[in-house]
Structure 1
Amino acid sequence: MAKASSRAPVLGPAYIRLLARFSAADLPRTPPALTEQLAHWFDWNRAIALSRALDTCAPAATEAAFDAAEAAECARQRGVLQAAIDADIDLSPPRRRDAATGIDPGYRPYRQHCLATQQAMQATTGRLRGRLRDLLATQSPAKARLAEVDAVMDATLSPREQSLLATVPALLGQHYLRLREAGTPDPPRTPGADAPDDSPAAPDAGPWLARFRQDMRTALLAELELRFHPIDGLLAALRTR
């Protein structure tokens, strides 16, 4: 039976608390203040660019009406990504050699699914965000300024975001191994027999695996929600008169 965790609960957004549950490391009880983190992420070049975007008067823009088809396309793309998260995972050995070392063979298909889904989310949301920003810049001077601010924030924060999200497959791998170890009973042993050396890995089946698959799905859906936050904000700005 798995031991109950004695770790103090981690405060913060739901996605952070979810990832903290997958990690064996002791994380700080209280996350650092957002302003403190931003001070580390903004170098002086980015700070100047943000200040210029906030202070500069944008040129007059044509009051273009918001096309509801853009929102529909964002919703469609989001549905495609969610369908990819929910799709069956190919458990056959990967066709191309995975350069990563130290990955449990049973976890490799899930890792590949996670990586492919993350890459698709990054590409799709980046394209949609750029498209909506271009549309926002055509509506009014105030909205053009907002589009410029979003561009600076995107260029500044996205690399850091990608770096942090790149740790998710490893956290899920740790979670996979812990669930398998806790959920798979030791094989029966004949009295007096020596313990076998290099015992084969436990079969990937059982309630623990169903729980892992659901946890991985929950994590990827939470990441999808996170990646769509800027897009939802731009859509809201486009709808505002």
Structure 2
Amino acid sequence: MSDCEAILEYVYAACREEGAVGFAYHFTSAFDSPTSKRTAIWARDYPLEHQKLYVTEDWRSQDPLPRLTFKHGPIMTRNRARRFARRERPVQNFLELLEKHGIDRWACFALYGPRNRDGYASMRFSEEPDGFDDGRLESVHTLLTAAHLQICAIMAGGSASVTLSDREHEVLEWMGQGKSSSDIATILAISPETVRTYTRRIYDKLQTNDRVTATVRALKLGLVDL
């Protein structure tokens, strides 16, 4: 596949057969953190309230799970996180906060990529993943890793140099924040059709046809600061 969004949708569809009911993928710039504001996040079926809090209440910068996953992983479940961080009160507080907002039965995955372009994924399940049979979470991790490596390869494509207009730059940054065309139109006080025109121009310049690929290539070229 050459479409990052299609890759992620495919992965989520496959993982739903393993009981997944929510999926988030963080694509991190080289040498950056999965909780950095420069990290692009693609999410499906996480509670909308949680997604808002992750951004507006700055849960992202407080999130200790990526650190724990890369340190003790590459797979981290809720019970394992509690065990590894039993003496870290901020981590325990964050886990309690997640449960308060209905985020439970989850697993996190460290995804290693070439040239220090690591990724991170979290997935909610209909059952407690700590009770999964041997190999079940490992199979999910293998699929996520393959997807991440393909996204890294796609990111390496495109033009080495791209110039965007100020308005194209604004539209691209809001796209990277997950805003729809109608949302961007409202924010920038322009029509949705105008947003779609700018989006087509951005796709042409970044040699892609989807938002996720546009965002990761823009991160590579330093065109956006999410």
TM-score of the pair, normalised by structure 2: 0.28
- Structure with bigger gyration radius: 1
The structure in which a higher percent of residues are strand is 2
The structure in which a higher percent of residues are helix is 1
Structure number with higher relative contact order (C-alpha < 8 Å, ≥ 6 residues apart): 1
TM-score of the pair, normalised by structure 1: 0.26
